[in-house]
Structure 1
Amino acid sequence: MFNSILNQALEQYVSDRVDNILSIAGVADAKYKKLVREADSVLSQLMEIARELEAQHSELLRLVMEYEAATNIESGLAAEIVYREGIRDSCRIRQEVANFMQKQI
């Protein structure tokens, strides 16, 4: 039960932290900000075309919307995976530094 509580807390922490990092990047990182604007522009163009062609291809608008949702979920999951690996790397590096220091003493 304790492990379950810790896992839930870590899941929430990672999710909140990733959201916070991406929020800061959206303001502070010019490269990321530019990419987000470009992606939004492309999506807007796709949605416009899909709406224009909806009468001929009724599934097109739904597919564009599903693609947008899937890419958003994939992007968020990728960010969480990277953050978790960063936490693991941090723990390993600390352990290696501690071992190195122990050998020096």
Structure 2
Amino acid sequence: MLNSILNQAFEQYVFDRMDNILSIAGVVDAKYKQAVKEADSVLTQLMKIACELEAQHPELLRLVMEYEAATNHESVLAAEIVYREGILDSCGVRQEFATFMQKKMQGYHYPSTY
């Protein structure tokens, strides 16, 4: 039961942290801000064209909307995978550093104060 509670808490932490990071990036990261702006512009153009051609190709608007949803879902999953791997990397680096320090300290003898 504790494991289930911890898993749920971790899942929520990952989603909240990713949302926070992307919110901050949307404000302070110029490249990310530009990429979001360009993606929005392209989507707006696609939606306009799909609406104009709706009579000739009624499936086009639905396809554009499905594509947007699919690419957003893919982006969220990619960000989640990268974030989780970052957490694992950080744990691994800490563990390696602790092992390194432990080995360094095994051969070290403190000077006597007597």
2:96 aligned partner: 96
Supply the distance in 2 between the matched residues of 1:29 and 1:70 (Cα, whole angstroms).
24
**Structure 2 residue identity aligned to 1:45:** Q
Structure holding more helix per residue: 1
2:82 maps to what in 1? 82
Larger Rg: 2
User: How do 1:1-105 residues align onto structure 2 when only pairs under 5 Å count?
Assistant: 1-105=1-105
Give the CA deviation at 1:57.
Answer: 0.6
Unaligned runs of 5+ in 2: 106-114
Deviation at 1:8, TM superposition (A): 0.4
When the two chains are superposed, the root-mean-square deviation of aligned CA atoms in Å is 0.5
Alignment partners' CA distance in 2, 1:15 and 1:77: 10
Q: Which amino acid aligns with 1:89?
A: D
Q: What residue identity is the alignment partner of 2:94?
A: R
Matched-pair identity in %: 80
Q: Deviations over 1:56-82 (max 9, x none)?
A: 111000000001011111111111111
Residues of 1 paired with 2:71 and 2:33: CA distance?
Answer: 17
Q: Deviations over 1:14-50 (max 9, x none)?
A: 0000000000000000000001000000000000000
Structure 1: 5+ residue stretches without partners: none
* TM-score, normalised with respect to structure 2: 0.91
Tell me the amino acid that sits aligned with residue 35 of structure 2. Answer: L
Structure 2 letter corresponding to 1:54: E
